[in-house]
Amino acid sequence: MYCTSMVARGLVVGTIGLLLTLSAAGAQETRPPPSPVPLEMKREAKPPRAIVRPEGDREQAARDAARSAAEYEQTQRDEALMREQTRPSVRRPDLGYDVSGSIQQRNIQRR
């Protein structure tokens, strides 16, 4: 008996839920808005003026390119010279701190 009353309650709650859902769906308004809003913006201005570029001077462009290439090569040479001058000198391993320190320590122990 307990099981049948539980099933009956479930059916009653389900039916009430279904009725409420259908009544809420029917209450929604499906009419379009009263005044339609335009979706496009119209431009009422003059068309833009055409851009006329002056004709380029090919000789001037070639001179500029050659000058830029020469400047780039000069900076590369300068940087290479600076790298060569700032390169650390090769250290002799026989003059390192470890070698000289151990030699001095041996002299102290001999005395």
Read out DSSP for the chain?
-HHHHHHHHHHHHHHHHHHHHHHHHHHS--PPPSSPPP-SPPP-SPPPPPP-PPPP-HHHHHHHHHHHHHHHHHHHHHHHHHHHHHSPPPPPGGGSHHHHHHHHHHHHHH-
Kindly indicate the confidence band of residue 31, based on its pLDDT and cuts at 50, 70 and 90: low
At residue 80, the pLDDT reads: 92
Question: 39-81: per-residue pLDDT in tens?
Answer: 777 777 777 888 888 788 888 989 999 999 999 999 999 999 9
Task: Please give the mean pLDDT across all residues of the chain.
Answer: 78
Q: Model-level pTM?
A: 0.33
* Residue percentage of the chain with pLDDT more than 90: 18
